[in-house]
């Protein structure tokens, strides 16, 4: 039974890469190889950043004779990044799978089900840990050539770090599940807790360079702090430097914590999985209902779906929150922003005409991370037949999904564009065109994401994390938004050099609007036919 459960979870985890849900068959070797290459490129790109970070810290630490501190410091980063990276999906993996009722009705011990799902979290955590630990390990081994036994201990400690990240992620998922079972609005609880972690992550990210500089400037104090308050991390550092006993101690700590977390979560699994939270009693009040139109009803359905799922809301709406936050920040720090812009322009030797195009590129980059439409079809799952059976044109539900994308992203993009235009003194015409270009680009990304989701749907999921975070439509839409934003920004800067920023933004807006209109027409015609035949 354990083997069957594990096989099911692993198949679901990798299904998006190896199985074509639309055609109901395995993907071709070429398609699988393409996906692997894309993921490998992303892995290597991010790993290179940590390699450069390790390269800048190792010489000073090694000269001070504190090699263990090198690994202890990056071990702390591994724990932080791993927990933040996997914690957002842990609650859904452990408690919110679509097949919970089916599995609980079978003669399967809940503890065994939990074990399999914790292994799934462990696999995800391993990739986050390896993303940091591997380049750190490679930089150290290439520079200092330690004994082969030290390399083996470093690999063992990577597994131990993965166990620890899994423990902390599962406990956070358990905490979210426990809190949401005590309140009526589970989505709000999950979103608030997740936003706390996101804010913490960005604060840590933007202060990372300063933290590293302070760390290198006071290695003695850092060593004393790890020895006093971070004793387990010191054992990690000593073990990765080649000492066997500290490595075994750290590994034992990780194993004991994993077993303890498993015991705690096993005792509460069924209660949290079957809890519906507090339900507010409704009181019927008679009255005449107003009849609405089809488009409004479908849009309201999509909006409730969006706000009713914490995973969907966080992953497809975080960019909107960032844009609104940046607009407020720009209003508060307008003077500082203009001083920075003037300094950069003077050093680069370019005129202020490119600033509105840079603002457009910034808005495009942020808005392209919100792939609201790129998973909207997949999230229908096994309830897709409800939309297909409605007496409406198949294009209507698709247009509602596109309108939701525009509602979530175009409004914040327009606000940020308007604020940036005012802050940089772009003039009323350039500001209006900046707003128009930004909204047209959001429209283009939304239409492209919906088209990709129709071409690459993922309907047979058991956990909504899969279509939202792992879907090929989401990946391709983010790549399209990034590349398309860079291309349009580059074209706009080129045009602005001789035609001015207003004309450049007008051309960019026309190109984005024309492409968005073409994709939208495809959705209404060919896309509606595909949607009607999906199963």
Q: 34-67 pLDDT, tens per residue?
A: 767 777 777 787 788 888 888 888 888 888 888 8
Q: Do 422 and 338 meet the contact criterion of CB atoms below 8 Å apart?
A: no
- The predicted pLDDT at position 407 comes to 92
- The predicted pLDDT at position 141 comes to 92
- The predicted pLDDT at position 229 comes to 80
**What is the C-alpha to C-alpha distance for residues 284 and 294, in angstroms, rounded to an integer?**
25
Beta-bridge mates of residue 19: 26
**What is the C-alpha to C-alpha distance for residues 431 and 57, in angstroms, rounded to an integer?**
44
- Token duo for residue 84: 């933040």
Q: Other CB atoms closer than 10 Å to residue 336's CB: what's the count? A: 11
Q: Which residues of the chain, if any, have pLDDT below 50?
A: none
Question: Backbone phi, then psi, for 497, in 5-degree steps?
Answer: -65, -25
Q: Other CB atoms closer than 10 Å to residue 103's CB: what's the count? A: 17
Q: Quick one: DSSP state of residue 469?
A: I
For residue 354, give the nearest of 506, 507, 500 by alpha carbon. 500
For residue 192, give the nearest of 167, 175, 210 by alpha carbon. 175
Q: Do 371 and 316 meet the contact criterion of CB atoms below 8 Å apart?
A: yes
Task: Give the torsion sign (CA, 310, 312, 314, 320).
Answer: negative
Q: 218-261 pLDDT, tens per residue?
A: 787 778 888 778 889 989 999 999 899 999 999 999 999 999 98
- The predicted pLDDT at position 363 comes to 93
- The predicted pLDDT at position 390 comes to 83
Question: Backbone phi, then psi, for 25, in 5-degree steps?
Answer: -155, 165
**What is the C-alpha to C-alpha distance for residues 73 and 360, in angstroms, rounded to an integer?**
38
Q: Do 89 and 469 meet the contact criterion of CB atoms below 8 Å apart?
A: yes
DSSP per-residue string spanning 123-148: HHHHHHHHHHHHHHHHHHHHHH---H
Q: Are strands 19-20 and 25-26 parallel, antiparallel or unpaired?
A: antiparallel
Beta-bridge mates of residue 20: 25
For residue 68, give the nearest of 301, 233, 192, 209 by alpha carbon. 233
Q: Other CB atoms closer than 10 Å to residue 510's CB: what's the count? A: 13
Q: Quick one: DSSP state of residue 532?
A: H
């Amino acid at each position: 039974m354990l083997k069957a459960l594990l096989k099911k979870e692993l198949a679901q985890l990798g299904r998006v890469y190896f199985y074509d849900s639309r055609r109901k068959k395995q993907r071709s070797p070429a398609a699988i190889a393409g996906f692997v290459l894309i993921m490998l490129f992303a892995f290597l790109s991010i790993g290179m950043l940590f390699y450069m970070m390790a390269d800048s810290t190792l010489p000073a630490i090694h000269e001070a004779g504190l090699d263990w501190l090198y690994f202890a410091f990056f071990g702390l980063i591994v724990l932080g990044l791993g927990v933040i990276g996997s914690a957002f999906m842990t609650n859904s993996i452990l408690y919110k799978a679509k097949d919970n009722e089916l599995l609980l009705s079978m003669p399967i011990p809940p503890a065994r089900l939990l074990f399999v799902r914790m292994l799934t979290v462990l696999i995800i955590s391993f990739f986050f840990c390896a993303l940091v630990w591997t380049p750190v390990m490679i930089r150290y081994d290439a520079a200092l050539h330690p004994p082969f036994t030290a390399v083996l201990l470093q690999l063992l400690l990577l597994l131990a770090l993965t166990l620890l990240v899994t423990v902390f992620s599962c406990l956070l998922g358990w905490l979210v599940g426990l809190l949401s079972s005590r309140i009526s609005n589970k989505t709000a609880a999950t979103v608030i807790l997740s936003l706390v972690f996101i804010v913490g992550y960005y604060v840590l990210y933007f202060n990372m360079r300063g933290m590293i500089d302070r760390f290198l400037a006071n290695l003695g104090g850092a060593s004393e702090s790890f020895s006093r308050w971070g004793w387990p991390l010191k054992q990690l550092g000593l073990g990765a430097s080649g000492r066997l006993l500290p490595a075994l101690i750290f590994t034992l700590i990780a194993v004991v914590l994993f077993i303890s977390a498993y015991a705690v979560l096993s005792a509460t699994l069924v209660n949290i999985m079957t809890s519906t939270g507090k339900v507010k009693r409704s009181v019927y009040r008679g009255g005449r209902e107003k009849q609405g139109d089809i488009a409004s009803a479908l849009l309201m359905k999509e909006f409730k779906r969006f706000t009713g799922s914490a995973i969907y809301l966080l992953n497809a709406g975080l960019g909107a929150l960032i844009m609104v936050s940046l607009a407020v920040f720009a209003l508060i720090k307008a003077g500082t922003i203009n001083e920075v812009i003037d300094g950069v322009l003077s050093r680069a030797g370019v005129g202020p005409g490119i600033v509105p195009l840079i603002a457009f590129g910034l808005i495009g980059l942020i808005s392209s991370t919100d792939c609201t439409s790129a998973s909207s079809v997949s999230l229908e799952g096994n309830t897709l037949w409800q939309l297909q059976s409605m007496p409406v044109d198949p294009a209507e539900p698709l247009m509602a999904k596109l309108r939701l994308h525009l509602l979530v992203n175009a409004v914040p993009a327009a606000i940020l564009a308007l604020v940036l235009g005012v802050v940089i003194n772009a003039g009323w015409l350039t500001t209006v065109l900046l707003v128009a270009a930004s909204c047209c680009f959001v429209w283009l990304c939304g239409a492209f994401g919906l088209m990709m989701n129709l071409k690459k749907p993922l309907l047979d999921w058991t956990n909504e994390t899969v279509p939202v975070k792992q879907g090929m439509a989401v990946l391709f839409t983010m790549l399209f938004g990034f590349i398309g934003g860079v291309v349009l920004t580059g074209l706009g800067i080129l045009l602005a050099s001789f035609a001015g920023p207003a004309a450049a933004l007008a051309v960019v807006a026309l190109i984005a609007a024309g492409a968005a209109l073409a994709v939208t027409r495809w959705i209404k015609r060919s896309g509606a036919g595909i949607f009607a035949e999906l199963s």
